[in-house]
Amino acid sequence: MTRITRRAALALPMAVPFAAQAQDWRPGQQARIVVPAAPGGTTDIMARLLAQHFQARWTTPVVVENRAGAGGTIGTVEVVRSAPDGRHMLMGNIGPQAIGYSLFRNLQYRPDSLTAVANVIRGPNVLVLHPSVPARSVPEFIAWLKREGNRASYGTSGMGQSPHLSGVWFNQLAGTQAEAVHFRGAGPLLIDLLAGNVQFAFDNLTSSMDHIRGGRLRALGVTTADRSPELPDVPAIRETAPELAAYDVATWFGLFMPANVPAEIVRSVNAEVQALLAAPDTRARFAQMGGVPVPGTPDDFARFVAAEITKWGQVIRREGLQMDAT
């Protein structure tokens, strides 16, 4: 239990006016959150959770608009070109907001085209198999891939998203091959994976968790350096084979706005996100999905995004990956 000291308690009244001021802004009319992916994936789930929260707090409609395609860049461009008035938000993620800057040759936006507002959730990807694949461990899976040659296929939630690069890096390290089949989000990907039209995926744990628990997909490993508390019996992929020791991928989802949004709007919306993340119900829901909340200021999020851009730029250049955003 957290105890508040007398000194901290005396400081609280000074903090209250700032918090109240940060939350004074309201959009005044309908706002929207653009999701650069199809319905059903983690990006979409997080956007709808935020929209419901904002709408209740602002007493103003907040709609979610799915603009899928081109690795999340189509939806991002739509927000970049929107008015910087606080009513146009992007539920961004590691793909178009970090990986994409180095992966795509012809992006129509740069990091300074967006304002980082708040990180929301972080979690691992998970290697999931259709039950028809005869592998129950990562070493068995590698052996199966090598027998299949280039006949195996894996689904991704879009070119340039972390599930795509999770597969690319895995194949590079394991010396395996598989065809990447790109979908417009995790929702369509999971439909085809559950139907057996693709054999495996490195999906966000948040969107695959229910299917893993229901036995519809088999989880072999998580992409982060450590195991997930929600799947303690599923190893980290890097544990499973010496050639995979360097393997470590985490995915994240956060809120952005166009460049040049007034600072008071950014602070206000960030404060609303922090209120949502601090709620016990939110933490419980995130844990059930296999993720953890990521509280912090807009500056914290901006620094984090900059570090992610640098990290993935190095990985992509080392692998020699580049493609057009079409």
Domains, the chain? 13-122+251-319 (3.40.190.150), 124-244 (3.40.190.10)
| Residue 302 CB-half CA count within 13 A | 14
CA distance 161 to 174: 20
Exposure string for 9-35, b = 16+ CB within 10 A, e = fewer:
eeeeeeeeeeeeebbebebeeebbbbb
Which SS3 state, helix, strand or coil, does residue 201 take?
Answer: strand
What is the full per-residue pLDDT of the chain (326 aa) written as tens digits? 323 333 333 333 333 333 334 458 999 999 999 999 989 888 999 999 999 999 999 999 999 999 998 889 999 999 999 999 999 999 999 999 999 999 999 899 999 999 999 999 999 999 999 999 999 999 999 999 999 988 999 999 988 888 999 999 999 999 999 999 999 889 999 999 999 999 999 999 989 999 999 999 999 999 999 999 889 999 999 999 999 999 999 899 999 999 999 999 999 999 999 999 999 999 999 988 888 999 999 999 999 999 999 988 988 887 788 888 76
- Beta-sheet strands, E only, within 275-318: 292-293
pTM, two decimals, is: 0.81
Per-residue pLDDT at 320: 87
Per-residue pLDDT at 326: 67
User: In terms of Cα–Cα distance, which of 71, 67, 43 is closest to 316?
Assistant: 71
Provide the token pair at 324.
Answer: 């057009």
User: In terms of Cα–Cα distance, which of 176, 122, 121 is closest to 154?
Assistant: 176
Q: Average pLDDT over the chain, rounded to whole?
A: 90
CA distance 244 to 100: 24
Per-residue pLDDT at 206: 86
Give the other-Cβ count within 10 Å of 324's Cβ.
11
Q: Name every residue whose Cβ is closer than 8 Å to that of residue 119 and which is 6 or more positions away in sequence.
A: 252, 253, 254, 294, 295, 296, 300, 301, 304
CA distance 17 to 22: 9
Q: Name every residue whose Cβ is closer than 8 Å to that of residue 89 and which is 6 or more positions away in sequence.
A: 31, 32, 33, 34, 79, 117, 255, 256, 257, 269
Per-residue pLDDT at 315: 81
Q: Locate tokens 């570090």: which residue?
A: 307
Residues 188, 204, 222, 147, Cα dihedral to 10°: 20
CA distance 180 to 321: 14
How is 243-263 classified by DSSP, letter by letter? Answer: GGTT---EEEEEEEEETT--H
Which SS3 state, helix, strand or coil, does residue 222 take?
Answer: strand
- Beta-sheet strands, E only, within 107-159: 114-129, 153-156
Give the other-Cβ count within 10 Å of 153's Cβ.
16
CA distance 271 to 258: 18
Is residue 94 within 8 A of residue 122, CB to CB? The reply is no
